[in-house]
Structures are given as structure tokens and as C-alpha cells.
């Protein structure tokens, strides 16, 4: 028992050291939004709005733990799927989230010559879990609360869930996906997701906005009807 306790304390100590070396989770988000703003302000992207949106989508995709989030949104259904199906779902879900979140961000945030304004309110860290509280300035000066729930893996902090004005991305998707599976089947859910990901977005507007659309509230989450 003493040996087990000693080994456990070593493991916890190693975790604390490695997460400290990785830097605070807030720094990860600051770097990501800074890169996003660089893309937005890049003159070379001015006449290539679709490329700009794609670049931002790829950027945010690099800091999101899609597999962990995919497992959570499927709930018990995740364990019922084969390893191949799990990989397939994670791949589709990653495109689903990237497309949906960047679409929402482009439609909701106030964007000026410097990009998107983000205020960092603070963070809470407990071993390999963290939450970072932020506010994004939305259109018309509206303050949009955006909280990031993060995990430490692969020697870096990754986002697993986002809440927008109190609405959780993972919780919202899980409710939608569960409804589709119960009413139809898991395979039908996958087909519907593939259709949503393949849907063309509205054409970008010129000027300071990334997309000439209006989204009220956190309804960027594709509704699975």
C-alpha cells in the first residue's frame, strides 16, 4: 500500500510539473486568438474571404480535443461503436464543430481592423483540467460570454467544450444526437451530420464582417431535425 501511495504521489507530481511547463491554458487561447486576428488582418486575405475562414477553421481545429468531445456527445453509444466507427465519427464531428464554431464566430463577433476583441477574465486549473473564462465583443458591442473547458494531453492544453452565454456545445450536441439516434439510428445520425458539413455557407461579405449573416444566441449548433 505504501508503494502504491508513493507511486501515485510521483504520478501527480509529474503531472503538475508537465502542466506547468506547458504554460497556463489561458496562454494557449491567447496565442490562438492572436493567430486568428493575424489571419483576419492579413491584407493578402482581403480578397479571399473563403480562404480566410478556412484558415481560421483549421487554426481552431488544432486546439480542440475532438475525440474526447466526440466520446462525450455520444455518451453510452460511443462504447457500442467499433474502433473504426469511433474514428469515423470523430472525423465527421471535427468538421461539424470547426465549421459550426467558426461560422458562429464570424457571424456574431464584432470585427474591426485588428480582428476580434477578446477579454480574458481568469482561469481555474485542477491537475489536467482547466476552465478559461472570456468575453468576446459581439456585434453592436454586445458582450458574449465564452468559456473554454480544457484538458491537458499530449504535452499541451486542448479545448474539449465551449459554453456560449451558458450554453454548452457538448451538452447541446449530445441532446440533439441522442434524439436522432432514439428516433432513427446511429447510422442516420452520421448521414445527417455528413449532409450538414457538406452544406455551403452563405457568401462572405466585404468589409469588416467575415460573413454577411446574423445569428442570435448560440444557435450556430446545427439543429439535427
Band (pLDDT 50/70/90 cuts) for residue 199 is low
Residue 77 forms part of a structural domain? yes
Q: Which has more pLDDT, 159 or 219?
A: 159
For residue 56, the tally of other CB atoms under 10 A from its CB is: 25
Read off the pTM: 0.77
Is residue 112 within 8 A of residue 141, CB to CB? The reply is no
Band (pLDDT 50/70/90 cuts) for residue 11 is very low
Residue 223 forms part of a structural domain? no
Residue 9 forms part of a structural domain? yes
Number of domains in the chain: 1
Q: What is the pLDDT of residues 33-74, one digit of tens each?
A: 999 999 989 988 888 888 888 898 899 999 999 999 999 999
For residue 50, the tally of other CB atoms under 10 A from its CB is: 12
Residue 179 forms part of a structural domain? yes
- Determine the straight-line distance between the first and last CA of the chain, rounded to whole angstroms: 53
Q: Where are the alpha helices (DSSP H) in the chain?
A: 2-22, 25-41, 49-61, 66-74, 76-80, 83-108, 169-183, 186-197
* Residue 29 lies in domain: 2-197
CA distances to 26, 65, 128, 148 from 20, in Å: 12, 19, 10, 19
In 3D space, the residue among 65, 43, 171 whose CA is nearest the CA of residue 128 turns out to be 65
Residue 209 forms part of a structural domain? no
How far apart are alpha carbons 110 and 140 in whole angstroms?
A: 7
Is residue 45 within 8 A of residue 146, CB to CB? The reply is no
Q: What is the pLDDT of residues 142-153, one digit of tens each?
A: 999 999 999 999
Residue 56 forms part of a structural domain? yes
Residue 31 forms part of a structural domain? yes
Q: Which has more pLDDT, 219 or 134?
A: 134
CATH number at residue 125: 3.10.450.710
Residue 47 forms part of a structural domain? yes
Amino acid at each position: 500500500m505504501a508503494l502504491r501511495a508513493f507511486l501515485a504521489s510521483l504520478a501527480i507530481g509529474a503531472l503538475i510539473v508537465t502542466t506547468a511547463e506547458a504554460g497556463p491554458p489561458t496562454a494557449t487561447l491567447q496565442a490562438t486568438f492572436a493567430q486568428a486576428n493575424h489571419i483576419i488582418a492579413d491584407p493578402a486575405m482581403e480578397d479571399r474571404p473563403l480562404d480566410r475562414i478556412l484558415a481560421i477553421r483549421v487554426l481552431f481545429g488544432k486546439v480542440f480535443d475532438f475525440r474526447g468531445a466526440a466520446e462525450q456527445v455520444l455518451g453510452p453509444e460511443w462504447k457500442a461503436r467499433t474502433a473504426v466507427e469511433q474514428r469515423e465519427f470523430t472525423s465527421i464531428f471535427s468538421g461539424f464543430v470547426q465549421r459550426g464554431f467558426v461560422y458562429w464566430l464570424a457571424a456574431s463577433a464584432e470585427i474591426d481592423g485588428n480582428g476580434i476583441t477578446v477579454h480574458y477574465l481568469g482561469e481555474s486549473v485542477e491537475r489536467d483540467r482547466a476552465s478559461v473564462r472570456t468575453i468576446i465583443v459581439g456585434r453592436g458591442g454586445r458582450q458574449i460570454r465564452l468559456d473554454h473547458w480544457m484538458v491537458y494531453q499530449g504535452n499541451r492544453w486542448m479545448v474539449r467544450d465551449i459554453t456560449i452565454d451558458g450554453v454548452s456545445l457538448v451538452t447541446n450536441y449530445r441532446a440533439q444526437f441522442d434524439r436522432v439516434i432514439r428516433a432513427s439510428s446511429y447510422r442516420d445520425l452520421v448521414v445527417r451530420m455528413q449532409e450538414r458539413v457538406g452544406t455551403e455557407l452563405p457568401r462572405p461579405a466585404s468589409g469588416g464582417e467575415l460573413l454577411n449573416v446574423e445569428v442570435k444566441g448560440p444557435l450556430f449548433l446545427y439543429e439535427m431535425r
